[in-house]
Amino acid sequence: MDTKNDMGIKKASDAKAGHRNFPMVPRVVFGKNSFNQLGDILLPKRKHSEAPFIFLVDDVFEGMEVAARIPLIFNDQIIFVSADEEPKTTQVDILVQKIQTEFTEVPSGIVGIGGGTLLDLAKAVAILLTNKGSSALYQGWDLVQKPSLYHVGIPTISGTGAEVSRTTVLMGPDKKLGINSDYTTFDQVILDPNLTQGVAKEQWFYTGMDCFIHCIESLNGTYLNAFSQSYGEKALELCKEVYLGELSSEESRDKLMMASWHGGMSIAYSQVGVAHAMSYGLGYLLGVKHGIGNCLVFQYLEEFYPHGVQLFNQMMEKQGVILPKGICAELSDTDFDIMIEVAMGMEPLWENALGEDWRRIITPEKLRSIYEKI
């Protein structure tokens, strides 16, 4: 089982590898109702009338106004996808096959509209439409050979940073691992805070806390550098305003969207830490989703992130969020061992969190004692 790490970043300052030269999103629009510009943005990218744009859209928008505003022309197609489960390599392969069977021409591009789940699917489909074989072949680092199809990301919930990252996290046949490559990053992102209006309170908290935890793990990690710090501090400040301040809902949507962006930029040049490593264990064994999984773990990490956990508790209290309990209550010894193995396999995350000697601090017993509380 190879479950190395979340954001797909090896040590930032690895002297042998030199400093990483990583891609950024080359074009981004920000602003209320900027979604209305999508048609104009896509127009020059249309290859010809037979080469459609494929819109992968979270199925919460089926029959909703957002879907009606998608600028369809020619033979463009909307494919609604459920975000109930995190993306899988098999799901990506099926989508790619469907698109290849239905259209004789290679599409003009892929547009993902939704949360981290849909953004990751859109990135993966765009890669697999130009690279042969199953998406599972590309899980890892820099295995993608050819540039992906033009792809656009339009987040509808804020926090993961998937809109800026160079990875797409997929559950494969034998591992949960990102396709980390220079071709993964979106060519265009549209940040329209109004699209996040319908998000349910609990989900808003869980996904927003993914961003908060990115900041805490990056800012308290051994890989920290001025690049990561500059973005991480800004994102943290924005998270505090959103979850502890008295903002209007409009200000709050704007700021959380930018927090997500900065949080993503912060971990791009460093790494996440303990909560993400352990959350991966929960996700792998129980299918617990990324945002809530991070929260479930993070609440018990005062030993590693005392100030972060204190802030987290204040935010939960202020927002009146209560986390579910007893998630690990019924698990067997084997179950715990699986989660522990997955978590401990995330070496760069532990190394970032605790330094090269992390194995002296993190033992299977230690991890089990934390999982047992969840």
Site residues (vs Zn ion, CB under 5 A): 210
Which residue, 2 or 372, has its beta carbon nearer to ligand NAD?
Answer: 2
Place of tokens 């204190």: 310
Q: Which stretch binds ligand NAD (CB under 6 A): 43-51, 151-159, 222-230, 293-301?
A: 151-159
Q: Quote the tokens at residue 28.
A: 């981004």
**Contact flag: residue 117 with ligand NAD (CB under 6 A):** yes
Indicate which of Zn ion, ligand NAD, none lies near residue 151 (CB less than 5 to 8 Å, by partner kind): none
Q: Tell me which of 116, 172, 263, 281 binds ligand NAD, using CB under 6 A.
A: 116
Q: Quote the tokens at residue 255.
A: 């700021």
Q: Which stretch binds ligand NAD (CB under 6 A): 46-54, 112-120, 245-253, 302-310?
A: 112-120
Q: Quote the tokens at residue 244.
A: 């502890």
Task: Find residue 29's DSSP bridge partners.
Answer: 190
Binding flags for ligand NAD, 2-31, as an x/- string (CB under 6 A): -----x------------------------
Question: CA 124, CA 94: separation in Å to the nearest integer?
Answer: 12
Which residue, 52 or 88, has its beta carbon nearer to ligand NAD?
Answer: 88
Q: Tell me which of 5, 108, 139, 156 binds ligand NAD, using CB under 6 A.
A: 156
Q: Is the dihedral of CA 247, 257, 286, 303 positive or negative?
A: negative
Q: Tell me which of 23, 39, 147, 198 binds ligand NAD, using CB under 6 A.
A: 198
Nearest to 192 by CA among 334, 372, 293, 66: 66
Q: Tell me which of 109, 114, 232, 273 binds ligand NAD, using CB under 6 A.
A: 114
Nearest to 116 by CA among 162, 56, 154: 162
Binding flags for ligand NAD, 157-196, as an x/- string (CB under 6 A): x-xxxx--x-xxx-------------------------xx
| Total length of the chain | 374
Question: CA 226, CA 4: separation in Å to the nearest integer?
Answer: 25
Q: Which stretch binds ligand NAD (CB under 6 A): 97-105, 113-121, 227-235, 295-303?
A: 113-121
Q: Which of residues 279-308 bind ligand NAD (CB under 6 A)?
A: 289-291
Indicate which of Zn ion, ligand NAD, none lies near residue 169 (CB less than 5 to 8 Å, by partner kind): ligand NAD
Q: Tell me which of 83, 191, 224, 297 binds ligand NAD, using CB under 6 A.
A: 83
Encode 291-314: b = buried (16+ Cβ within 10 Å), e = exposed: bbbbbbbbbbbeebbeebbebbee
Place of tokens 């009606």: 68
Q: Which of residues 328-367 bind ligand NAD (CB under 6 A)?
A: none
Determine contact, residues 11/351, Cβ cutoff 8 Å.
yes
CB of 276 to Zn ion, least distance (A): 6
CB of 214 to Zn ion, least distance (A): 6
Question: CA 147, CA 134: separation in Å to the nearest integer?
Answer: 16
Q: Quote the tokens at residue 362.
A: 């993190």
Q: How many CB atoms sit inside 10 A of residue 223's CB?
A: 25
Place of tokens 């090269």: 356
Question: CA 166, CA 188: separation in Å to the nearest integer?
Answer: 13
Interface residues with ligand NAD (CB under 6 A) are 7, 58, 60, 83, 86-87, 114-118, 120, 156-157, 159-162, 165, 167-169, 195-196, 198-199, 203, 207, 210, 289-291
